[in-house]
Amino acid sequence: MIKISKTELDGVLLIEPDAFVDHRGHYVEIFNKGLYKEHGIDVEFIQDDISVSKRKVLRGIHGDDKTYKLVSCLYGEFYFVVVNCDSASESFGKWQSFVLSGSNRQQVLVPPKYGNAHLALTEKVIFHYKQTTYYNRESQFTYAWNDKRFNITWPLENPILSKRDGGDV
């Protein structure tokens, strides 16, 4: 079973897969096409990606006009932000944050025209996402993590950034 909840952002879903837990640890099925389809998530994922970050690394805000992403944390904990980046939408710039971790096993479904970013809160974070298109950097939009139009509240003032994400490196 899975529990699926609507969020404050239209089309963005919070997903909580069940886990089998015993004295050895836990087992989680992080995706089952049939089960997700039964719950209204009928998208065809074609690529899986993983990024590993150290504490204070902030990645994003990135997205595109075509891709759905199913985001989860395999290890550690990160602060995850989803932003409506559809300039034609009345709710352009509206954002919501989530804390995803290997412990809570929550996932977020991010639809097209939404950007996402994550900030590593623990010493090591393994960020996993499934996507419905093949990665194409040229088709992506990017916003600075501190873009004034969004006024995102981050739990850290000076994150470690790449040049693409608004940093010096």
By annotation, the residues acting in catalysis are 62, 129
Cite the beta strand spans of 29-165 per DSSP E: 47-54, 58-63, 69-75, 77-84, 95-101, 107-110, 114-120, 124-131, 141-142
Q: Rounded to whole angstroms, how far apart are CA atoms 27 and 144? A: 37
Asked if 169 and 161 count as a contact pair (C-beta separation under 8 A), the reply is: yes
Judge whether 163 and 78 are in contact, CB under 8 Å.
no
